[in-house]
Structure 1
């Protein structure tokens, strides 16, 4: 055991050293800035907004940069899964004071945005103050729509043993409930949601971690685990899907696809789903007399499932002010939740060329993860500077995203991929077969990524 501890310590030290080296020479070094006097408003102070602000303030010598965000605290949200599973026993380790995260030289307006007017180039905040801009960085993140699930609201989260790690307080309640569920036994139902949502792997992670906890505590035989997804398959990245499905099978966790959560009866402990299926149906062909043709027909069936413990992901969308400003997609799969209509390569708005948008709110066909944001930031910075200088944006984001799917207490299936769902494995992990869960990826997830977030990513160095 002592040898293992030494190995762990050396791993963390080596990873930290490698990370420190990676920080050098980044954050705008080698990137040409601009001396033009412009007003830039950054809406949203999460990973994308802070990372953009930090780099821009170093590169734009005469710019006035205003960041608008009402938050008191900056959360490392990937840590919520680790709080909900008991890996992080001190939840206060996943946040910092927002005031300590605002880059020097950036004006912080601690208010919520109430209105965007892209035609007038203005942002209005609660209280009525109006902030004009020459260029807008739109990074407000995601809005969790808890009330879109019948019988549920943010305030009632936890009642009827309904829990979610998509919230700081909710993650803490989840850990308490997970322990009680494992001790008592029963049926655990774990569900994702029908909208695009941040960290699509999170519902899968908490399911597998809870299952593994039951084994560690010798209670597995008294519990049943069922996973419900609104998608047509458990995961959609070919390199990693087979192993993930195999893990679920090995651990006797059922996979139920095309199941969209509709509502919860917390008193009766019943969750209501809508099963969606597409079938072929023959109809008369208007082009040919007496002929028929096959058409797709969507059939929905209500399904009710009983549970003892329920974990769910809330439906998610762009904030209301984004939709109201007409900045979201108006057609296609990204329109319903009003994700911002940007070019998926340049991250520049397709209608308003003085707006760049990135992070969870961006309407692009990739996963909404902090790893994706990290790769989007330098692209958005380069292209914004090009726009300021009157040039065409040329930097291209390839859709890189990463999802560390925690499969048990000690292993992670590190999924890295691009827009085409092709693997984009980072060095030195590329030296290994990453189609399987790895212990080294667990150490990255648990020990390395959080400090890199606070000391590398949001200050604009990584």
Structure 2
């Protein structure tokens, strides 16, 4: 038999992606007694990305967010250090970038999303120098802090793109951290701060939107709603902002620009049979409750790549993973999928050094607080310490171990 016609190796459970979602599901499956688990992940590093905002704000070292991939993969899980390149849900196979074909019984898709730095003309070329930075790249988060720390006067612009993005609060959290630092240094009045948001409000949940509006007023931040960065001239230090209500444009000359790129599903998924035709960004179709693909029930989808009407956060994954595992196990045992995800997500909204709101809500944008007796709709110091120290510990020692 030639390699071209050989039967591909079979994997009872194949997980694509070794980030938060993939590792959490693998750990839970192992704790449930599943032995044949294969993880497809090319990276040798694993990042706790929610900490990058605090790195950019000068409140945490980058090393605190880093582990090796080998350190977080659960014992007994087979790790293939390759990148997925295609999926055939009819044949139940995944093809890797090297051409290897893998057969699966159950497939868990958790590859994360793709940062489209070229989605804004001029951004990719300007990134990392001339006052342009982004906390959405690990190597640039320390640069963000250096730029903030050195700034004494001028114009600082913070932008967010249209469409679903990971950690939707991060684009504005760094603006508040910067403004708070400048206020404490006595230079805030000499710095024009502009926050560009494509949404009609600062936050979709009204109680938190009102709190953030007050935060922006406190710092004197100029908020541009329904607006977006559409072109960047790095040499001239000019950013073109488009108002989506009437199509008008404004050119801002900046001294510091923190840009968040447009985001979409990896191309091999966006162009493949599992993508949701309703998603212009190529995210994968998934039942919003069972997290199974409606057309291929052997495929489970969670994390940033899933086209679900909720924010793309690690907190959402913490609630999605148990549902995926329960329904996957039910399928292996010949039972119907009974577990349900209600859309819970959480966004820690840092508003100052040692101050934070904790926004928790569900599919219907109803507040869904998980900490009894604490009003997390107002700025709290204890919530900041939770983000800086408690949540990373919960992540590495709880979620990634399948315990939380």
Fold match (TM-score > 0.5) = yes
For the pair 1:190 / 2:158, whether they are aligned, the reply is: yes
Scaled by the length of structure 2, the TM-score of the pair is: 0.95
For the pair 1:109 / 2:80, whether they are aligned, the reply is: yes
Indicate the residue corresponding to 1:14 in structure 2. none
For residue 195 of structure 2, the aligned residue among 205, 208, 227 is 227
Q: CA deviation at 1:114?
A: 1.3
Indicate the residue corresponding to 1:85 in structure 2. 57
CA deviations 1:381-408 (Å, max 9, x no partner) are: 1111112222221111111111110000
Does structure 2 retain, via aligned residues, the 8 Å contact 1:118–1:325?
A: no
For residue 421 of structure 1, the aligned residue among 365, 378, 400 is 365
Provide the C-alpha distance between the structure 2 equivalents of 1:318 and 1:60, rounded to a whole number of angstroms: 31
Does structure 1 retain, via aligned residues, the 8 Å contact 2:11–2:38?
A: no
Does structure 2 retain, via aligned residues, the 8 Å contact 1:274–1:301?
A: yes
Provide the C-alpha distance between the structure 2 equivalents of 1:60 and 1:325, rounded to a whole number of angstroms: 32
Aligned ranges 1:301-340 → 2 under 5 Å: 301-331=248-278, 335-340=279-284
Does structure 1 retain, via aligned residues, the 8 Å contact 2:31–2:402?
A: no
Provide the C-alpha distance between the structure 2 equivalents of 1:194 and 1:261, rounded to a whole number of angstroms: 9
Q: Structure 2, unaligned stretches of length 5 or more?
A: 1-9
Q: CA deviation at 1:445?
A: 0.6
Does structure 1 retain, via aligned residues, the 8 Å contact 2:160–2:260?
A: yes
Q: CA deviation at 1:38?
A: 6.5
CA deviations 1:201-225 (Å, max 9, x no partner) are: 1011100000000011121121111
Indicate the residue corresponding to 1:243 in structure 2. 211
Does structure 1 retain, via aligned residues, the 8 Å contact 2:108–2:301?
A: yes
Provide the C-alpha distance between the structure 1 equivalents of 2:11 and 2:32, rounded to a whole number of angstroms: 12
For the pair 1:440 / 2:387, whether they are aligned, the reply is: no
For residue 297 of structure 2, the aligned residue among 339, 353, 360 is 353
Q: Structure 1, unaligned stretches of length 5 or more?
A: 1-36, 278-298
Q: CA deviation at 1:58?
A: 2.5
Indicate the residue corresponding to 1:100 in structure 2. 71
Aligned ranges 1:22-101 → 2 under 5 Å: 39-61=12-34, 63-88=35-60, 90-101=61-72
Indicate the residue corresponding to 1:341 in structure 2. 285
Does structure 2 retain, via aligned residues, the 8 Å contact 1:327–1:338?
A: no
Q: CA deviation at 1:432?
A: 2.5
For the pair 1:451 / 2:393, whether they are aligned, the reply is: yes
Q: Structure 1 stretch 255-264 or stretch 407-416: which is displaced more?
A: 255-264
Indicate the residue corresponding to 2:7 in structure 1. none
Q: CA deviation at 1:258?
A: 0.9
CA deviations 1:365-423 (Å, max 9, x no partner) are: 00111011001110111111112222221111111111110000011011011111111
Scaled by the length of structure 1, the TM-score of the pair is: 0.83
In angstroms, what is the RMSD of aligned CA positions?
1.3
Does structure 1 retain, via aligned residues, the 8 Å contact 2:127–2:133?
A: yes
Does structure 2 retain, via aligned residues, the 8 Å contact 1:272–1:302?
A: yes
Provide the C-alpha distance between the structure 2 equivalents of 1:268 and 1:427, rounded to a whole number of angstroms: 48
Indicate the residue corresponding to 1:461 in structure 2. 403
SS of 1:405's equivalent?
strand
Indicate the residue corresponding to 2:104 in structure 1. 133
SS of 1:189's equivalent?
strand
Q: CA deviation at 1:60?
A: 3.8
Q: CA deviation at 1:454?
A: 0.7
Provide the C-alpha distance between the structure 2 equivalents of 1:128 and 1:58, rounded to a whole number of angstroms: 32
CA deviations 1:174-202 (Å, max 9, x no partner) are: 11111122xx3111111111021011110
Provide the C-alpha distance between the structure 1 equivalents of 2:153 and 2:274, rounded to a whole number of angstroms: 48
Does structure 1 retain, via aligned residues, the 8 Å contact 2:153–2:187?
A: yes
Indicate the residue corresponding to 2:341 in structure 1. 397
For the pair 1:163 / 2:133, whether they are aligned, the reply is: yes
Indicate the residue corresponding to 2:355 in structure 1. 411
Indicate the residue corresponding to 1:176 in structure 2. 146
